[in-house]
Amino acid sequence: MDVQLKKGLMSTCVLAIVAREDTYGYKITQDTLQLLDASESALYPVLKRLEAQAFLTTYSKEYGGRLRRYYSITDLGRHQLVESKKELEEFKKVIDFIMEGGNEP
């Protein structure tokens, strides 16, 4: 898959995962890697970028005697996820057209 396409999808995947429930970085990484062929190291910059854009917030919570950093989606992040889904629906129409051999859009 194209690197740029994968980057865009990775952000949307992360938002969709965190929208289901607050979760921690390693879990987000594992869930995302099941969908996209990417390295774990590629995902942490995505998390930082989404946090810098105010799409995600973080908090710490103790787990097994250690602090674990959890991510939570913001209202702005939910809005971005909705917009991303709209764009993906448009993209899906193009993909379907191509995959169906160019029969009526």
- CATH number, residue 93: 1.10.10.10
In a domain, residue 105? The reply is no
**pTM for the full model?**
0.86
- pLDDT for res 38: 77
Domain of 52, in residue numbers: 3-99
Neighbours of 30 (CB within 10 A): 13
Q: Long-range contacts made by residues 41-46, C-beta under 8 angstroms, separation at least 24?
A: 42/10, 43/10, 43/14, 46/7, 46/10, 46/11, 46/14
Residue 70 is which amino acid?
A: Y
User: pLDDT 10s digit of each residue in the chain, 105 long?
Assistant: 777 777 779 999 999 999 999 999 999 999 998 888 877 888 889 999 999 999 999 999 998 899 999 999 999 999 999 999 999 999 999 989 999 886 665
Closest residue by Cα to residue 49 from 90, 89, 27, 80: 80
Do the domain assignments include residue 52? yes
CB 25 within 8 Å of CB 50: no
Within a domain: 35: yes
Question: What's the pLDDT score for residue 57?
Answer: 98
